[in-house]
Amino acid sequence: MERDATRPTSTPDPDETRSRLASEVAEVESAIALVASGAASRITLSGLKFGEQLSRRFHAEAQASGIKLEPLIWPEDAGCDLVVRRIDE
């Protein structure tokens, strides 16, 4: 039987997961703030492990700021990219 190289072979480290989640939360918050400020009209955050969940978590806050979050989900639930853009774009 062949081992699938894209699947982890061990249990995820809780500290690593917590650190990655905190980092991705900060990235999404910063992208929302940057687009809301008008400094950028669109930002794509790439390679997020928790991007789909974060887009749901920050949906209301982003929408209140005139921002839309669009997750671009990768195959086999391997993560996603997240587009942060103005609603009027």
Average pLDDT value for the chain: 89
Token pair for 49: 């492990």
pLDDT digits (tens, 9 = 90+) for 23-64: 999 999 999 999 999 999 999 999 999 999 999 999 999 999
CA pair distance 50, 62, nearest whole angstrom: 17
pLDDT at residue 3 greater than cutoff 80: no
- Residue type present at position 33: A
pLDDT score of 1: 43
In angstroms, the Cα distances linking 2 to 5, 11, 25, 52, 56 are: 9, 19, 36, 30, 36
pLDDT at residue 4 greater than cutoff 60: no
Report the predicted TM-score, pTM, of the whole model to 2 decimal places. Answer: 0.82
Q: Are 35 and 44 in contact (CB under 8 A)?
A: no
